[in-house]
Chains A and B, each alone.
Chain A
Amino acid sequence: MKQLGLLVTMQPSVKEKNAAMVEWTEQERSIITNIFGNLDYEDVGSKALSRCLIVYPWTQRYFASFGNLYNAEAIKTNPNIAAHGTKVLHGLDRAVKNMDNIKATYAELSVLHSEKLHVDPDNFKLLADCLTIVIAAKLGSAFSPEIQATFQKFLAVVVSALGRQYH
């Protein structure tokens, strides 16, 4: 009976489970919806992915079937990479629309990246950093330190959710 009692107390209560969820202020929500609301997904997506493949060339391992990745110019003009970058950005959109439940929203995508695509989750961070750089280049003075902090917090939650189902 004592062991049962121990088991019961060790389960996180509903309150504790909710406490573990990511909290967003109203300001953070509007920063994220604003950034994505004013984004050219094709432009930013293709730029972010091609930058990732150029700056961290080992990430090219996942794109062997995408055609010519021989040098930076080839990567930048590769239509398959551009299309895939757009796809990734639309995937991020799902998190923007479900900010209170990113972990659950990405459960399936996480399984996909782990079981089917076999992507090392460290790569998510590399792409996130490149996306931050592309947004920084695009937004200029509007990309304040506070906005950067919120954007990176958002990406960190996404990256964590994408890696969650790996085992």
Chain B
Amino acid sequence: MLVSSPLSGKWTASLCLLSTLCTLWTPAVSVKEHDFKKCDQSGFCKRNRVFADNAGASSSWESPYNILPESRSFKDGQFQAIVLKTINAKGDTVRLPLTVSFLESGTARVTVDEEKRQNKEIELRYDSKVRKERYNEAEEWVVVGGLGLDKEATVGFEDKSQTTVKYGPSSAFEAVIKLSPFTIDFKRDGESQIKFNDRGLLNVEHWRPKIEQPETEKKEGEGDGGEKKEETTLENKEGSSSSGEDESTWWDESFGGNTDTKPRGPESIALDISFSGFDHVYGIPSHAGPLSLRETRGGEGKYSEPYRLYNADVFEYILDSPMTLYGAIPFMQAHRKGSSVGVFWLNAAETWIDIIKAKDWRNPLSLGGSSKTSTHTHWFSESGLLDVFVFLGPTPQDLTKKYGELTGYTAMPQEFALGYHQCRWNYVSDEDVRDVDRKMDKSNLPYDVIWLDIEYTDEKKYFTWDKHTFPDPIGMGKQLDNHGRKLVTIIDPHIKNAEGYQVVTELKSKEHAVKNKEGSIFEGWCWPGSSHWIDAFSPAAREWWATLFKYDSFKGTMKNTWIWNDMNEPSVFNGPETTMPKDNIHYGGWEHRDVHNLNGMTFHNATHHAVKSREPGELQRPFVLTRSFFSGSQRVGAMWTGDNQAAWDHLHASFPMILSQGISGFPFSGADVGGFFGNPEKDLQTRWYQAGAFYPFFRGHAHIDSRRREPYLAGEPYTSIIAAALRLRYSLLPSWYTAFHQAYVDGTPIIKPMFYTHPGEEAGYDIDDQFFVGNTGLLAKPVTEQDKVTAEIWIPDNEVYYDYFTYKTIPTSKGKRAAIDAPLQKIPLLMQGGHIFARRDRPRRSSSLMKWDDYTLVVTIGRDGGKSAEGDLYVDDGESYDFEKGQYIHRKFVLNGEATTISSTDAESRDPSSVKEGDWMKKMHDVKVDRIVIVGAPASWAKKQATVESEGKSWPASLDYSAAAHGRASFATVKKVGARIGADWKVVVS
């Protein structure tokens, strides 16, 4: 475009072109914070904050929303009414249909719509063809169950001012719906937990026509038209509306050179939600900040911006910030001693959440002026329905379970997905991949998956290979398959706008692309340059998408090829905030503004279904990683925390983020090990691997500009330390897999923060750098600080804790921190007494090569001196859906110290004959329990021999006992137990 000689006559022309291009680039030119909106740059955010400020400033503030008393009805667990919003001094009102549904699960749902829009009785500007209703399809994407109405729910009390509904388990829950102003108080056992509109910040921006400027006036005031216009608008508005609102962002707004035309005008919804007596709230990922959310209205140690949920490609994100990131889960929970409650704000539009905490003086008469802190939140979304689910707990487990009932639980992953993933932008050729594969083996570094970023394609055309650098993808795939390994290739939603590229030709001709506000195919910039975006909201587009992944279509892929979906926020380099214009149009006539936060999930979902069955008869559990996500994404894959940096603080920030994902229903998450941008020092890289060994999703990744850093390049002692961390992960895979199964069953996080496991311990509420792994009792606190050689682990209870590696009994006391030595080669990892967990100790090259290895069980004796310990193990073939047909092993292990036996029984008390064993289960007959290690074994274990009883036989097993010495706890080892892992058995010491 530019000519080489500045003297050339083309210069001027080039300059023009150049400046045009510059405008196009503006949003991407400088990224970081200022590329993304602050609240006051986002019209509805500013309006609602002002609304809140005004309400707060006036002592006589009264919410203008009232239930029309005679509109109330209650039937089959559903309360319905019309809320009237008074919109001016004359008393004109707008009708807002309200539905409060009480669900069988004990969850309540509050939905507010707007009658005029519902009935399409509005006019759109610019002859826009978009839908007139408020977006009402988020539920279709997000909610998969749990909507059954609670027929037992009853109206407990009703009069002119309120309706009270009793619902939930043993009718212990209560919703007090007040009419004037409209509020709801959710109580459990008579105690107030969550209040809606308590502060009167409910705000439904009703439809109104734009009162256009009379043309003549405009002409008159041409010189200073801007000011004039504003004045006039103000006058006009005062004529038609009662409040002195700021209209400047009602009809259009600009940011970074992009103007959003708003054919439907202002339409935001907002609500204040107070958590009575709770001073900790969690959730609403993804943000790079502490697990326990900060206040957002300024002040020492607080944010001054609300938490934002607007999925975006945030380049080099900053830490400790409420700024939006790549994915959104609008699920918030509050915890205090004895109670855990939550809300799920089902809205896919741009959403902001303000949080403040305040002392309650609810009972001024009580002596000593004892006060509780309550957390007051204020939610606002740009468009769509007001649709909120209320969970009344009372435990953290209840929350994750009920939330999962609605949005689905984590998909059962393929087992390989829990292994180590080796990624880099980019492995430059198939040779390079083969070389890395060999070198990992050479250096005894187990791994399961190697990844290809965008450079494998032919000029960023997805579903193609660069024929120079990847001439033989099948040969490469086969080499990986030799050791049971997989390949993950990236496929993004932007499709290169290039001549002769079959995929884009079809995308265009079949109209599967997202459209712009004029209704023609939207064109923007991403990696390939000019691109179009698949509209995965369209069923036909998804069907078409699936065809692209067929083995004979995406040539070069095999059964062991899986997919990585990146840039699906979507990232549009020249769009506002690096994403799509909000007035783009999706399938069904919905504006992008309505569905933005869902976009990533629909694409991820489309890919998931596409790779589930790539040839007739095939049915594999897909592995698809996504960067963007929404509530429900957990059903289709894993996520990672995006583009972090090779810095200690980013390592440190990874655990709060991953823990937050865990409690928010999407636990299959990880951060890029080593840090995406930059070059980690070797000690950082090593520590990061030690930390990564505890990420549910464990992947090393690096930016194209960074130096190569495959762990074998680190050199000694680093490579060996990393190898040991990898082996730790692999040896514990049976327990990780069991934890994933638990997440699949009831939404339990894979790694659990202290408040989750010990909700009664207030001192643990803001601890977010240590966690328990599944139900193993393993308590880890990976080192995330430079030069740190000790870890101070906070001890939540009076249990016994052993060092994982030395069996040392750690001197602990409840609520205190225990110092653990943690030189570079050591991961601070404790075993809590009272558990039994499974390992596979044989080091192998990949997880699939461990499939038939025998198990080691570890029993940790608790403070009861070995009277009891428990644990479980879930195993299946790790790849197919046969587990849905009962083809799995799920054992419950129990130590009974009184009789000194350890037994294994079916965890679900299934009748073994009820399941016809398939191929995998038959093969598992050869897989045994090899050893049982009893850490902290009391003296009753000091025998030479134990007896194993199983399947009608009994045989002796040798038993080694080592008395406690030098701080190490006593331990016993039962050798060659020899019982089948899938069978009932008992080891008896007598």
Query: Are A and B part of the same complex?
Result: no
